[in-house]
């Protein structure tokens, strides 16, 4: 069993806490921000910003958070000049941190001629929009731009997950969306492709080597990509709307509301499903590898 320690900035520590939320378990450790168990790994994050990985292939997990000088997330100045005014494909995903509901990935192509119309529609960072605004905007965006969307429902997600960790799965889906969208818009070519960054570029490209039809050229990675180009904002809104609709469908199917996120309410609702039909039934609604599953089992057994 190996040990790797990485120093994170306060912002990165907060990102790590959100990323590992499904795996966090209660444990009192002095000066610790959180403690998580993922597969055969333990992750201990300290308030100082240090995060310790222990277990099998701990170096690979740590690599998700190690930032080498050449691989630091690009700043606005690292993007081509006048990037926000160019014809760009933007790519984003929704649902990765939610126990219930699908994982949705979308790529959208916004040509420079479409940017004024997108702006007039009110397209912006989806986090600045409420659910009603998102559901109203998504169909209007779909009528305007070329896009490619992939939806992995929980049952399929659970079949794939043992062979694809969360990062690898997202890389595969982003790449497939980009490949299919490039085929749709051909012979048009975007001036660049901007992926809302969820992992270091080196890690993305490492997993990309395992994929067919890999899109490798003219890729840019930046966190909060919606702020740098409306194509990413459009993709994010389409993703979010699809996630909300699918979560609502699953709620209607099971007969009660399924929350987004991975909090205690998710544990309680999952326990109700387990009582109805066991973990087999739960696999149709939830991502089983989340820690919520074990918590729900305990609640159901009471």
Please, what are the domains in the chain? 2-66 (3.30.310.10), 84-248 (3.30.420.10), 262-301 (no CATH)
174-208 burial code (b ≥16 CB/10 A, e <16): bbbbbbbbbeebeeeebebbbbbbbbbbebbebbb
SS (H, E, C) 189-246: CCCEEEEECCCCHHHHHHHHCCCCCCCCCCEEEECCHHHCCHHHHHHHHHHHHHHHHH
| pLDDT tens-digit map of 28-59 | 888 889 998 887 788 999 989 899 988 877 77
Taking 50 as the pLDDT cut, the residues of the chain under it are 68-77
Given this model, what pLDDT does residue 71 score? 40
3-state SS assignment for residue 183? helix
Angle at 301 between CA 300 and CA 302, to 5 degrees: 95
Residue of 204, 217, 192, 226 lying closest to 89 (CA atoms): 192
Q: Are the CB atoms for 116 and 167 separated by under 8 Å?
A: no
Given this model, what pLDDT does residue 1 score? 55
C-alpha–C-alpha distance, residues 16 and 13, integer Å: 5
C-alpha–C-alpha distance, residues 84 and 91, integer Å: 15
Given this model, what pLDDT does residue 14 score? 86
Sign (positive/negative) of CA torsion 71, 72, 77, 80? positive
Q: Are the CB atoms for 92 and 225 separated by under 8 Å?
A: yes
């Amino acid at each position: 069993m190996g040990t790797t320690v990485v120093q994170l900035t306060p912002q990165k520590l907060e990102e790590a806490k959100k990323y590992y939320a499904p795996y966090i378990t209660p444990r009192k450790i002095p000066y610790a921000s959180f403690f998580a168990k993922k597969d055969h790994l333990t992750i201990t994050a300290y308030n100082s910003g240090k995060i310790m990985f222990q277990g099998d292939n701990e170096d690979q997990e740590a690599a998700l958070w190690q930032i080498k000088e050449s691989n630091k997330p690009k700043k606005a100045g690292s993007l081509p000049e006048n990037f926000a005014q160019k014809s760009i494909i933007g790519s984003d995903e929704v649902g990765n941190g939610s126990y219930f509901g699908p994982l949705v990935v979308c790529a959208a192509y916004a040509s420079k001629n479409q940017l004024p119309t997108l702006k007039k529609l009110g397209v912006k960072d989806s986090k600045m929009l409420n659910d009603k605004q998102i559901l109203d905007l998504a169909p209007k965006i779909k009528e305007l731009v070329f896009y490619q969307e992939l939806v992995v429902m929980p049952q399929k997600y659970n079949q794939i997950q043992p062979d694809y960790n969360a990062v690898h799965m997202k890389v595969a889906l982003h790449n497939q969306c980009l490949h299919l969208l490039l085929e749709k818009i051909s012979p048009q070519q975007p001036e660049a492709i901007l992926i809302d960054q969820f992992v270091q570029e080196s890690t993305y490209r490492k997993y990309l080597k395992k994929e067919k039809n890999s899109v490798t050229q003219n890729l840019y990675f930046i966190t909060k990509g919606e702020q740098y180009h409306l194509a990413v904002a459009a993709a994010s809104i389409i993703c979010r709307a699809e996630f909300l609709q699918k979560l609502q469908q699953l709620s209607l199917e099971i007969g009660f509301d399924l929350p987004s996120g991975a909090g205690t309410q998710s544990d309680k609702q999952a326990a109700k499903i387990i009582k109805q039909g066991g973990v087999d039934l739960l696999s149709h609604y939830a991502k089983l590898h989340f820690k919520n599953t074990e918590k729900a089992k305990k609640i159901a057994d009471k």
